[in-house]
Amino acid sequence: MLDSLQDGLRSAFKTLRGQGRLTESNMREGLKLVENALLEADVSYIVVKDFMKDVSDKAVGQDVLKALKPEQQLVGIVNQALIDLLGPVDPTLKLEKDVTVLMMCGLQGAGKTTTCGKLARLIGTEGKKALLCAADLQRPAAVQQLHVVGESVGAKVYSEEGATDPIAVCQNAVKFARENGLDVVILDTAGRLAIDEELMQQLKTIDLKVQPDQVFLVVDGMTGQDAVNSAKAFNEALELDGVMMTKLDGDARGGALLSVKHVTGVPIKFIGVSEHMDGLEPFHPDRMASRILGMGDMVSMFEIAQREFDQEQVQKTQERLQKGQFTLDDFRKQLDQIARPGLMTKMLGLMPGMGEMSKMLQGGDHEKEMKRLGGMIDSMTAAERNDPKVIDNSRRQRIAKGAGVSPQEVNELIKQFDSMASLMKGMAGGGMSSAMDMMRK
């Protein structure tokens, strides 16, 4: 999905790899490449312009996260800007009435009939019964196609042989649904190869006379700015509740996806991700942003780091690391940062290959382990924490007794700390972000 956009953005982020910190000049270079990637994906010029302004403002305005590398920072910022660009959106179908009427429109070939079927199926999985209404009386095979689709998803189809008035068909379908205890009516209206006055007039009349609860436009995500222009025209005529964007599983470049909300004000509510009937997904801007960036884990780490870690503390630890002064006190403070309920499991779950381990850890054993380690450090004097080498046999006995552990466990902690301290000195300069990199490998 959106492979070329993903590649473009990834190479933008790569330019910042290996840079010590985010500066105005390396950020400008990264941003220029982000801009190019968007333009190449056929995103509307106005959207690119506003998006880049948003990203620059966010980059300049945010507290620089000391724990993260420039590349990670930019990914986080672009991620947030994408979420803001695509949302907010509530992708739930509000099926609250006895009979809820959903009107589907779109140009021919956009995927309207297919999407009607997918929607009926989705509604079925929510325990409601949908009726498909064949109101496309323009395209010769449309009624037949809807019957095929309806059959494949187990939904009833309402059609009238030889009908010429789509408004009457829609009204009769709603009546039929009421009489037969069906919950939702999906109107499959006529499409055209291009927008024309007659089509719009027909749709407006259906909208007026049948009073659908929600009006959706189906657009082909592969058609780039044409999709955006048709959304604009349909929205002016009908006041759309949402867009359903199809064919994002193909080689859509992403221009329509990223432009439509900003240009028309209408959010995407569902996306088509396959030609099969189960290929319709509610649209979540945050998940789409992660998909586009292809770095869900890194983005989530950014968010967790931003939310959970005391940035000042991270900075101080990093400075001490750089001076080669990492002590058991620092270790203790890091334990405090990470030993909060659920945090460890969350972080582990984001690391490649660690998902299983995080499941094993659920139940809080790792948190108990952190408490055990913390307890031993707390039983030491300041001098011992500063330089564990002074811990002889009698001190070891005293610490063990204070922490309720065996002297051997104290020994193990010191050994572990020694090897960790030398590892951390080795990567001083990168601090936690280097640690994250190591964990990602």
Shortest Å distance, C-beta 437 to ligand GDP: 37
Tell me whether residue 275 or residue 356 sits nearer to ligand GDP (CB atom). Answer: 275
Helix (H, G, I), strand (E, B) or coil at 389: helix
C-alpha separations of 408 from 411, 413, 433 in Å: 5, 9, 33
Shortest Å distance, C-beta 441 to ligand GDP: 35
Identity of the amino acid at 104: M
Dihedral sign, Cα of residue 275, residue 282, residue 244, residue 49: negative
Shortest Å distance, C-beta 117 to ligand GDP: 8
Tell me whether residue 8 or residue 111 sits nearer to ligand GDP (CB atom). Answer: 111
Interface residue with ligand GDP, options 272, 285, 294, 430 (CB under 6 A)? 272
Q: Which long-range contacts (CB under 8 A, 24 or more apart) does 225-230 make?
A: 225/42, 225/44, 225/255, 225/256, 225/259, 226/256, 227/256, 227/260, 228/44, 228/255, 228/256, 228/259, 228/260, 228/263, 228/264, 230/106, 230/107, 230/195
Sites for ligand GDP among residues 80-109 (CB under 6 A)? 106, 108-109
Judged by CB under 6 A, the number of residues near ligand GDP is 18
Shortest Å distance, C-beta 320 to ligand GDP: 54
Q: Which helix (H) or strand (E) holds 216?
A: strand 214-220
**Interface with ligand GDP, residue 407, by CB under 6 A:** no
Tell me whether residue 242 or residue 279 sits nearer to ligand GDP (CB atom). Answer: 279
Structure tokens at 215: 């009006």
For residues 145 to 184, the per-residue mask of contacts with ligand GDP, x marking binding by CB under 6 A and - elsewhere, is: ----------------------------------------
Contact 293, 307 (CB under 8 A): no
Tell me whether residue 277 or residue 439 sits nearer to ligand GDP (CB atom). Answer: 277
Contact 242, 224 (CB under 8 A): no
Sites for ligand GDP among residues 182-201 (CB under 6 A)? 191
Contact 217, 186 (CB under 8 A): no
Q: Which stretch binds ligand GDP (CB under 6 A): 158-166, 176-184, 246-254, 259-267?
A: 246-254
Helix (H, G, I), strand (E, B) or coil at 215: strand
The residue number whose beta carbon is nearest to ligand GDP equals 272
Shortest Å distance, C-beta 121 to ligand GDP: 13
Which residues 6+ apart lie within 8 Å of 151 measured at CB?
A: 157
Interface residue with ligand GDP, options 57, 239, 275, 278 (CB under 6 A)? 275
Shortest Å distance, C-beta 186 to ligand GDP: 12
Beta bridge partners of 268: 243
Structure tokens at 365: 């054993």
**Taking the CA of residue 403 as centre, how many other CA atoms within 13 Å lie in the half-sphere pointing to its CB?**
27
Tell me whether residue 129 or residue 276 sits nearer to ligand GDP (CB atom). Answer: 276
Give the chain's count of helices (H) and strands (E).
21, 8
Q: Which stretch binds ligand GDP (CB under 6 A): 179-187, 192-200, 270-278, 423-431?
A: 270-278
Interface residue with ligand GDP, options 160, 249, 303, 412 (CB under 6 A)? 249
Interface residue with ligand GDP, options 4, 11, 171, 274 (CB under 6 A)? 274
Shortest Å distance, C-beta 87 to ligand GDP: 21
Tell me whether residue 249 or residue 412 sits nearer to ligand GDP (CB atom). Answer: 249
Q: How far apart are CA 264 and CA 286, in angstroms?
A: 20
Identify the DSSP state of 278. Answer: T
Tell me whether residue 273 or residue 424 sits nearer to ligand GDP (CB atom). Answer: 273
Dihedral sign, Cα of residue 185, residue 190, residue 194, residue 199: negative
Shortest Å distance, C-beta 302 to ligand GDP: 31
Q: What share of the chain is helix, strand, coil (3-state, %, to 5)?
A: 60, 10, 30
Q: Which stretch binds ligand GDP (CB under 6 A): 39-47, 247-255, 282-290, 338-346?
A: 247-255
**Interface with ligand GDP, residue 337, by CB under 6 A:** no
**Interface with ligand GDP, residue 230, by CB under 6 A:** no
Tell me whether residue 266 or residue 299 sits nearer to ligand GDP (CB atom). Answer: 266
Render the burial of 385-421: b for 16+ CB within 10 Å, e for the rest. beebeebeeebbebbbeebebeeebbeebbeebeeeb
Identity of the amino acid at 322: Q
Tell me whether residue 76 or residue 106 sits nearer to ligand GDP (CB atom). Answer: 106
Interface residue with ligand GDP, options 114, 202, 290, 318 (CB under 6 A)? 114
The binding site for ligand GDP (CB under 6 A) comprises 106, 108-114, 191, 246-247, 249-250, 272-275, 279
